[in-house]
């Protein structure tokens, strides 16, 4: 294996001879995602206290999405959309701890076929990570993985390539970045392009941070008064209440540690000559949870279809193609990632309904027009309990192995589920909805008794003024669009997209 200094020397020599990468060259791809990291929680979006210099620099020098959205308002649904380019309800991933289905085709499958080396590091949460699971990262197309069934803190216990869980000492974001660096170097030494998904455990509660990061936020103002927030106890794993000021100190410290780890990756890619043609992306997986939601101007929080629940930071660096800093107000979503990376890698998208579109024209500066609206649906999962559906996957394969602090169902591991859904009922059409179409956002049942709401996000980014009564034709059009789309999604839910 050539040394980093040798590779750097060759890279600089090529540049001095007038050689440059072209947008048609297949990039290396590293897709990073924070856990419960909402749009307002970066300094570049105006947060008054957070220190995020690396994400700020990426936003200032690359492509900044001012309207990037998670495919779901909670974590498992978003992760399913990220991997497949499809709305999570198509595969029964309705909310946290609902798994995907083995018949789904992931971006890793497709990029493997296109000659990429593939890896997943960090939070998985769309099935178990053990080797025998039909939903492990390996089964979903990743050559290597160091992963956790759910979230994790300092000194995480994780599974490498599906093996027995092992404790790894250190700050969790840096651990994942070190794995990312190792894999990228190995793939480059083989002359292979790579796809790496680095899904951080931060800043999901319960919060745990290094002393030096906590010290940065020890002087937070006393503006929170006597406010208490509900979160998981590090001591018992059960719910507790703690003062908001000290909870935010820990949450902000986790975000800063994650930001620093991303900086370590960027510096390494630069040093070994990989950064120019590596597409480096970061987003959050949903909006800010109630335990940390004190500074967001957006309406709603994690779990809502208002922007506070689904609007997240989104930035891309890829200097071979994005040579000048840009910001875009074009709507984009995690479902766009599969069609985008497949397009850039020269792969072939699956022949089944996708809910995302390729962002290649945006990345290459060719267009900022989105061809399709983005639709959101918080499915009413409570109707599944009434159905008494048959498990889609052997329940033994849905039992997680990697422990975490938070107790659920009397244990410190996670149990996933997914149910067969052969028949569509009227009750299956229930839930909370949103349609994002250019500057307009249509929301249906967003809050109790709210009914239909229409917002112009360019004029009213905080969703305060309902324009539905002023635009009845638009409202009716969006209702009809939702109905057609729901029919398609529910057909997928029955298994109608899978080979027979």
Task: Note the pLDDT of residue 224.
Answer: 82
Pairing between β-strand 452-456 and β-strand 440-444 as defined by DSSP bridges:
antiparallel
d(CA 291, CA 270): 37
Is residue 11 in a domain?
no
Q: State which residues form the domain around 196.
A: 27-374
Quote the pLDDT of residue 21.
36
Q: Clarify whether residues 336 and 420 are in a common domain.
A: no
**DSSP state letters, 34-57:** ESS--TTSSGGGT-SS---HHHHH
pLDDT tier at 383, thresholds 50, 70, 90: confident
Coil vs helix vs strand at 363: helix
Are 289 and 302 a contacting pair, CB within 8 Å? Answer: yes
Query: Is 333 a member of any domain?
Result: yes
Residue 193 vs residues 105, 116, 137, 427: alpha-carbon distances, Å: 20, 5, 19, 46
Selection from 200, 190, 176 nearest residue 79 by Cα? 200
In which residue are the tokens 């990632």 written? 337
On whether both 384 and 361 belong to a single domain, the answer is: no
pLDDT of residue 22: 40
Same domain assignment for residues 188 and 199: yes
d(C-alpha 249, C-alpha 245), whole Å? 6
Percent of the chain with pLDDT over 70: 95
Q: At what angle do helices 244-271 and 53-61 cross, to 10 degrees?
A: 50
pLDDT tens digit sequence for 27-75: 999 999 999 999 999 999 999 999 999 999 999 999 999 999 999 999 9
So what's the pLDDT on residue 8? 37
Q: How many domains does the chain have?
A: 2
E strand spans, 217-261 = 228-232, 239-243
Considering the domain architecture, whether residues 359 and 415 belong to the same structural domain is answered as no
CATH number of the structural domain spanning residue 196: 3.40.720.10
Same structural domain for residues 149 and 285?
Answer: yes
Average pLDDT over residues 287-315: 97
344 and 484 co-located in one domain:
no
Q: Which residue, among 307, 137, 284, has the nearest Cα to 204 in the 3D structure?
A: 284
Contact between 432 and 440 under an 8 Å Cβ cutoff? The reply is: no
Same domain, yes or no: 404 and 369: no
The pair of structure tokens assigned to 22 is 């072209």
pLDDT in tens, 231-276: 999 999 999 999 999 999 999 999 999 999 999 999 999 999 999 9
Q: How high is the pLDDT of residue 80?
A: 98
In whole angstroms, how far apart are CA 380 and each of 384, 391, 431, 435, 440? 8, 18, 5, 17, 25
């Amino acid at each position: 294996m050539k040394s980093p200094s040798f590779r750097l020397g060759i890279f600089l020599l090529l540049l001095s001879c007038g050689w440059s990468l072209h947008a048609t060259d297949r990039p290396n791809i590293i897709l990073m995602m924070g856990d419960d990291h909402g749009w307002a929680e970066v300094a570049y979006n105006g947060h008054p206290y957070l220190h995020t210099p690396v994400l700020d620099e990426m936003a200032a020098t690359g492509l900044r999405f001012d309207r990037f959205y998670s495919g779901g308002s909670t974590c498992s649904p978003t992760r399913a959309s990220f991997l497949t380019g499809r709305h999570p309800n198509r595969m029964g991933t309705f909310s946290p701890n609902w798994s995907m289905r083995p018949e789904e085709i992931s971006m890793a499958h497709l990029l493997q076929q296109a000659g990429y080396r593939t890896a997943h590091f960090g939070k998985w949460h769309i099935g178990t990570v053990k080797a025998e699971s039909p939903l492990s990262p390996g089964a979903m197309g990743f050559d290597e993985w160091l992963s956790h069934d759910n979230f994790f803190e300092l000194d995480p216990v994780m599974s490498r390539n599906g093996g027995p869980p092992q404790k790894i000492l250190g700050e969790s974001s840096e651990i994942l970045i070190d794995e990312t660096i190792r894999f990228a170097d190995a793939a480059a030494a083989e002359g292979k392009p790579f796809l790496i998904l680095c899904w951080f455990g931060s800043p999901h509660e319960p919060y745990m941070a290094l002393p030096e990061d906590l010290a940065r936020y020890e002087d937070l103002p006393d503006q929170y008064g006597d406010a208490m927030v509900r979160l998981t106890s590090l001591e018992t794993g059960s719910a507790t209440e703690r003062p908001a000021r000290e909870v935010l100190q820990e949450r902000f410290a986790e975000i800063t540690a994650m930001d620093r780890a991303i900086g370590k990756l960027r510096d390494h890619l630069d040093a070994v000559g990989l950064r120019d043609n590596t597409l480096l992306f970061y987003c959050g997986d949903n909006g800010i949870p109630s335990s940390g939601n004190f500074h967001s101007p957006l309406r709603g929080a994690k779990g809502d279809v208002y922007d506070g629940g689904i609007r997240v930071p989104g930035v891309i660096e890829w200097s071979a193609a994005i040579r000048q800093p840009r910001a875009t107000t074009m709507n984009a979503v995690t479902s766009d990632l599969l069609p985008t990376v497949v397009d850039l890698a020269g792969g072939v998208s699956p022949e089944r309904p996708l809910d995302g579109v390729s962002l290649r024209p945006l990345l290459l500066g060719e267009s900022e027009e989105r061809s399709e609206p983005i639709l959101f649906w918080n499915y009413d999962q409570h109707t599944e309990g009434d159905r008494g559906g048959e498990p889609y996957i052997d329940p033994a394969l849905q039992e997680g192995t990697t422990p975490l602090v938070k107790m659920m169902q009397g244990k410190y591991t996670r149990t996933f589920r997914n149910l067969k859904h052969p028949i569509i009922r009227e009750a299956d059409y229930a839930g909370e909805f949103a349609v994002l179409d250019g500057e307009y956002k249509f929301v249906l049942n967003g809050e109790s008794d709210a009914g239909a709401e229409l917002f112009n996000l360019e004029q009213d980014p905080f969703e305060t003024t309902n324009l539905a009564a002023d635009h009845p034709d638009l409202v009716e059009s969006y209702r009809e669009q939702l109905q057609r789309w729901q029919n398609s999604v529910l057909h997928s839910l029955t298994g109608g997209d899978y080979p027979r």
